[in-house]
Copies of this chain bind each other. A is one copy, B any other.
Amino acid sequence: MSYNTFGQLFRVTTFGESHGPMIGGVVDGCPPGIRLSLAAIQAEMDRRRPGRSRHTTQRREPDAVRVVSGVMEEGDGLVTTGTPIALVIENVDQRSKDYSNIADRYRPGHADYTYDAKYGLRDYRGGGRSSARETAVRVAAGAVAREVLSGVTIRGALVEMGGDRAEGRDFSIVDDNDFFAPDAAAAARWADRLDAARKAGSSLGAVVEVVAEGVPVGWGAPLYGKLDQDLASAMMSINAVKGVEIGDGFAAARLTGEENADEMRAGPDGPVFVSNHAGGVLGGISSGAPVVVRFAVKPTSSIRTPRRSVTRGGEEVDVSTTGRHDPCVGIRAVPVGEAMMAIVLADHFLRHRGQTGC
């Protein structure tokens, strides 16, 4: 039972608010003897960092991660000791006054009203705990998880923005454009679209795809420990995500049994799949094929266009949200989705090893 922990054997607990002095997390259960590179962790952080382009929030956060426990120095790097790895990130660029005008009013699409109703009070500064700032910690923890997963490659991309789909799937170019787009033409189109939306005081939704290659057959479990179940849980735990699908997902519901069944052939190292409608998971267990997840991110709720709402006191008002916001939160959700994929896979790797010894 927990509200701020994800995972079972590879567990990530996060803390911190957007406007507190720091955010951070604890990775518990990481195997000992794993080499960590601070530079590699930081490189992942930089991908998610705000202010990378005009298409994300202009908040300036260096997002410098300190690893304050669970490691020893070894050579020019760090090695895990098997004890909890604490990751600490200072908040540098808080601006509390930006938010003072919304302390008392419920922004539509935000968690303002639900928080207040649940807890009887609400940390209105920068969204408090519901700020996407927390996802920085996920990325740091995900970078640790990647090191646990030798042989597994995890790549993400934005595959749709504002209803406009990327046709290509060239993961090698995702870090070369402002959108993590796997298709240069789509990136170009999206730049125009998002500029227009931002200028109009509006925002756009998006779809993210994350693919893990090299996952061996056998991770996951039949029922309530399904690999795809935990992937769905992981992705839905990301701010603004409203849908998750594995493999063909909703499109699979429109196929016939013949179309959908991934046929198998004998390969040199065991069965191989001729197709991958299943997205690498059968019966909750990895099949050896690439694990494919997509998730839908709603358009940013913070928009300048006024929307009708109510105040804490029950008065009807119009709310328009100024300040620094991502016009499409889906963009920066790409490295977050990769991180959650890594965390889920590291967890299932350890769970599988625990039960079966493999």
Contacts and interface: CB of A to CB of B under 8 A. Distances in A.
A209 interface: no
B129 A81 contact: yes
Given A4-B223, A129-B81, A257 B287 contact: no
Contacts of A258: 202, 303, 305, 307
User: How many monomers of this protein are in the complex?
Assistant: 4
Nearest to A32: B119
Interface of A: 1-6, 8-9, 11, 13-17, 20-24, 26, 28-29, 31-33, 66, 68-70, 72, 79, 81-86, 88, 106, 108-111, 113-115, 117-123, 128-130, 134, 160, 162-163, 197, 202-207, 217-226, 228-233, 235-237, 239, 242-250, 252-266, 270-271, 274, 277-279, 282-288, 296-303, 305, 307-310, 314-316, 330, 350-357
B310 A266 contact: yes
A310 B271 contact: yes
A4 B16 contact: no
A285 to B, nearest CB: 4
B298 A255 contact: yes
A203 B299 contact: no
Contacts of A228: 236, 242
Contacts of A202: 256-258
